[in-house]
Amino acid sequence: MNKVMLIGNVGREPEVRYVDQGVAVARLTMATTERGYVLQNGTQVPERTDWHNVVLWRRLAEIVEKYVHKGDKLYVEGRIRYTTYNDKHGVKHNVTEVWAENIELLSVRPRPAASDGGAAARPSQPDGGSVTAEDSQNPPF
């Protein structure tokens, strides 16, 4: 298991690229903030913000392209990935990314129920196959 769950705000406009065969890939930065507090011995632990590099592929990248903007509040679920590369000067660099497996847009205003809008990533029905009203009811057991 390698699971990450983040709720935070998008730092700037996401970047979206299309690579071979039209596969979309998006990249965004997202801040999570931990409240400061005082320890029992009186030490002040200040507020802390961490900036996450989030990478999204395909359907999630397309959702980002359409609906996610700087300042939006986002829920991201994914995996941590560490990459190492050497730059032109032979200096080693470490990059840590969160590769999203699911997102939820927390800034999206409640919509009229008659329109999905497509703005939310709903992993429970990923196949988008033909579906009936039974879906929202109990299974037939």
Binding site for DNA (CB under 7 A): 8-12, 29, 31, 33, 49, 51, 70-71, 73, 110
CA angle 90, 93, 99 (to 5 degrees): 140
Structure tokens at 49: 């913000």
Candidate list 9, 11, 27, 65; residue touching a second copy; CB under 8 A: 27
Instruction: Report in angstroms how near the CB of residue 13 gets to a second copy at its nearest.
Output: 13
Q: Is 90 in the site for a second copy (CB under 8 A)?
A: no
Q: Is 125 in the site for a second copy (CB under 8 A)?
A: yes
Cβ proximity to DNA: between 71 and 126 the closer is 71
Candidate list 39, 86, 88, 90; residue touching a second copy; CB under 8 A: 39
Instruction: Report in angstroms how near the CB of residue 38 gets to a second copy at its nearest.
Output: 4
First-to-last alpha carbon distance for the chain, in angstroms, is: 32
What does the alpha-carbon distance between residue 27 and residue 55 come to, in Å, rounded to a whole number?
5
Are the beta carbons of 47 and 34 closer than 8 angstroms?
yes
Q: Is 86 in the site for a second copy (CB under 8 A)?
A: no
Structure tokens at 44: 């002040």
* 10 interacts with, out of DNA, a second copy, none, CB within 5 to 8 A per kind: DNA
Q: Are strands 15-19 and 92-105 parallel, antiparallel or unpaired?
A: unpaired
